[in-house]
Chain A
């Protein structure tokens, strides 16, 4: 070792701060990413709220139902789609390879990404609830419902982020990432009770959806936004919050294993 005469390397928190700054600037300065990830759920709420505000029973509007689903979809966008596309892009344009050649601790890179996802998620959720509450008469959570809201959102964001990182390795390059990931997200949204009431979907579709995290995120959030009487319309006639936590927890473990096993700092075929 010839490092004895050198100053100490910067600490993890120092590099972490620097990476957070980089990740936030990279996201918020990229207009397409902001429009696609933040504005799209808000626009969908505006359109659905204006068109589909019919009564779904017990005096509850579809907009109230849709709020839970679009929040889940927003988390999916900020975590899964955003991570998969931005990581695949950074992998194929050489950003990741360059970083791998520096003494930046790899953990700092992922911590920066996590903070970016959390910041974007918080912004989406705040915008959705603000607009829903102000213009569409959506009842916001109160009391202990906030706790459920927080843990469902956080577990969902964690699962989506990890799966997004794992999916980024599936895409051949940055350009194909969007084409790979967007249809996956869109199909999940259609079958998981975001755009349609979950109870109105065919049974087989419900079964397929219950294999993936989005259905459970939306269901957990419905327990927050809908009166308990509507739990009777759920497949198990209850909100199944224990199972929501369990399935999201399993997806977090699967996502973590996939990330560790598949993550690459360069495009395939380059080593």
Chain B
């Protein structure tokens, strides 16, 4: 058993030389992919546990989509080992594909079919599909059931892509930037959809540029820069967030003041003693996931 398969562990992943974990939803060791002289993935090691939501974060060109598309069976790797649901994706047959749901970054194309017809056709490829009308309800497209795919708006099309990805009742769902083009309300709806899929036991590999999304959804996040994983951890502890100094800010003599402190409670108590009533505009902030993320990718590029 590898060190990373402990369910309570919140930080760290496999290191080079660890054996593949055949029980993991996805197990990757020493993954390499080059496009000409450009090294897109440069020795990546990662285990994704069954049942978890894992978010892969990283700047454009860091190797997120390449890694995901190798796992989906779309791209061949130059070196390394990959197991997805216990199988090498290069040789994935129908029975293996039937366990996957894939929401591609590029979407699923234009169509003259209505959204309901598209979902029915997609469902017909799977052994035990979800009911297309229930899926339309889940993604909030019920009113658009009779509308042709190509006339949907950008956000509606993305929801249709998600619907097509989950109609086959996947064990493992890949979501490559699923909420691009969503308005804030649609994004919240999407989050609750993802949470209900998690309750049904679906493992999810998510790539996103929205750090609030990763924080809201992911059990663990991995930050990828220049084709390698910089760190894997629960969002709350990524980059030492939980022990990072807090920043206290308030207004005193008409000037905004800030202080970094490892003991914010004691600091605020002292502060409160200096003021007769409320401390004006008091705020205590921990570094956000975005602060930590930007620092991590800044350090490495």
Of all chain B residues, the one with the shortest Cβ separation from A30 is: B112
A52-71 interface code vs B (CB 8 A; 1 in, 0 out): 00000000000000000000
Q: Is the CB of A104 within 8 A of B108?
A: no
Minimum distance in angstroms from B273 CB to a CB of chain A: 62
Beta-carbon contact of A1 and B94 below 8 Å: no
Q: Which residues of A contact B106 (CB under 8 A)?
A: 94, 97
Q: Which of B94, B109, B148, B164 contacts A9 (CB 8 A)?
A: B94
Residues of A within 8 A of B85 (CB): 2
**B283 contacts partner chain A, Cβ-Cβ < 8 Å:** no
**Does B122 touch A at the CB level, under 8 Å?**
yes
Distance in Å from the Cβ of A119 to the closest Cβ of chain B? 15
Known contacts A93-B110, A102-B122, A102-B168: A9-B99 contact under CB 8 Å: no
Is B255 an interface residue, CB under 8 A from the partner?
no
Q: Are A10 and B128 in contact (CB under 8 A)?
A: no
Residues of A89-148 contacting chain B, CB below 8 A: 89-90, 93-98, 100-105
Of all chain A residues, which has the CB nearest B105? Answer: A94
B102 at the A/B interface (Cβ < 8 Å)?
A: yes
| B107–A15 CB distance below 8 A | no
Contact B125 A25 (CB under 8 A): no
Interface centre among B73, B86, B111, B128 (most CB of A within 10 A): B111
> Do the beta carbons of B95 and A3 come within 8 Å of each other?
yes
Residues of chain B at interface, number, CB under 8 A: 38
**Is B121 close to A, CB under 8 A?**
yes
Q: Is the interface of B mostly helix, strand, loop or mixed?
A: loop
Closest chain B residue, CB of each to CB of A105: B94
- Cβ A14 vs Cβ B74 within 8 A: no
Q: Does B81 contact A (CB under 8 A)?
A: no
What A residues does B96 contact at CB under 8 A? Answer: 3
A152 to B: closest C-beta gap in Å? 32
B256 part of interface (Cβ distance < 8 Å): no
Across the interface, do B95 and A103 meet the contact criterion of CB distance under 8 Å?
A: yes
* A102 adjacent to B75 (CB under 8 Å): no
Complex CA–CA separation, A26 to B120 (angstroms): 15
CB distance from B101 to the nearest CB of A (A): 9
Q: Give 1 or 0 for each of B120-156: 1 = CB within 8 Å of chain A CB.
A: 1110111110000000000000000000100000000
Q: Chain A 71-99, CB within 8 Å of chain B: the 1/0 string? A: 00000000000000000011001111110
B72 close to A (CB within 8 Å): yes
- The interface centre, meaning the residue of A14, A97, A102, A103 with most chain B CB atoms within 10 A of its CB, is A102
Residues in B whose Cβ lies below 8 Å from that of A8: 127
Give the CA-CA distance A94 to B86 in the complex, in Å: 27
A9 touches B124 (CB 8 A): no
Flag whether A261 is at the interface (Cβ < 8 A).
no
- Tell me, in angstroms, the Cα distance from A104 to B124 when the chains sit together: 8
Answer yes or no: B97 CB below 8 A from chain A CBs.
yes
Would A103 and B94 be within 8 Å (CB), given that A29-B112, A94-B106 are in contact? yes
User: Is the pair A7, B108 in contact by a Cβ cutoff of 8 Å?
Assistant: no
Count A-B pairs with CB separation below 8 Å.
101
* A22 adjacent to chain B (CB < 8 Å): yes
Q: Are A25 and B113 interface neighbours, CB within 8 A? A: yes
Bitwise interface map of B from 73 to 92 toward A, beta carbon under 8 Å scored 1, else 0:
11110000000011100000
- 1/0 per position for B32-64, CB-CB distance to A under 8 A? 000000000000000000000000000000000
- Find residues 12-27 in chain A having any chain B CB closer than 8 Å to their own CB: 14-15, 18-19, 21-22, 25-26
Q: Which of B108, B113, B168, B171 has the most CB of A within 10 A?
A: B108
The answer on a CB contact under 8 Å between A271 and B75 is: yes
Name the A residues within 8 Å of B124 (CB-CB): 10, 14-15, 18
Is B231 located at the chain interface by the 8 A CB criterion? Answer: no
Q: Let me know if B232 is at the binding interface, CB within 8 A.
A: no
Are A2 and B74 in contact, CB atoms less than 8 angstroms apart?
no
B260 within 8 A of A: no
Minimum CB distance partner of A16 in chain B: B124
Decide: A266 near B74, CB < 8 A? Known: A3-B95, A94-B108, A95-B110.
yes
Do residues A2 and B99 form an inter-chain contact, with CB atoms below 8 A? yes
A6 within 8 A of B: yes
B104 at interface (Cβ–Cβ under 8 A)? Answer: yes
Given A9-B95, A102-B168, the answer on whether A94 and B104 have CB atoms closer than 8 Å is yes
- Verify A97–B125 contact, CB threshold 8 A: no
CB distance B112 to A101 under 8 Å?
no
Say whether B108 contacts A98, CB under 8 Å.
yes
B24 at the interface (CB under 8 A from A): no
B72-A95 in contact (CB<8A): no
* A29: B residues at CB distance < 8 A: 112-113, 148
Q: A9-B98, A103-B95 are in contact. Are A93 and B127 (CB under 8 A)?
A: no
Does B219 sit within 8 A of A, measured CB to CB? no
User: Does B18 have its Cβ within 8 Å of any Cβ on chain A?
Assistant: no
Is A26's CB under 8 angstroms from B113's CB?
Answer: yes
Nearest CB on A from B84, distance (A): 11
Q: What are the 9 tightest A-B residue pairs by CB atom distance, in nearest-first order?
A: A95-B109, A29-B112, A18-B124, A98-B108, A103-B98, A101-B102, A103-B94, A104-B125, A7-B127
Known: A3-B96, A22-B121. 4 other contacts (CB 8 A): A8-B127, A90-B109, A103-B126, A105-B94
Taking beta carbons and an 8 Å cutoff, which residues of A are in contact with B? Answer: 1-3, 6-10, 14-15, 18-19, 21-22, 25-26, 29-30, 89-90, 93-98, 100-105, 266, 271
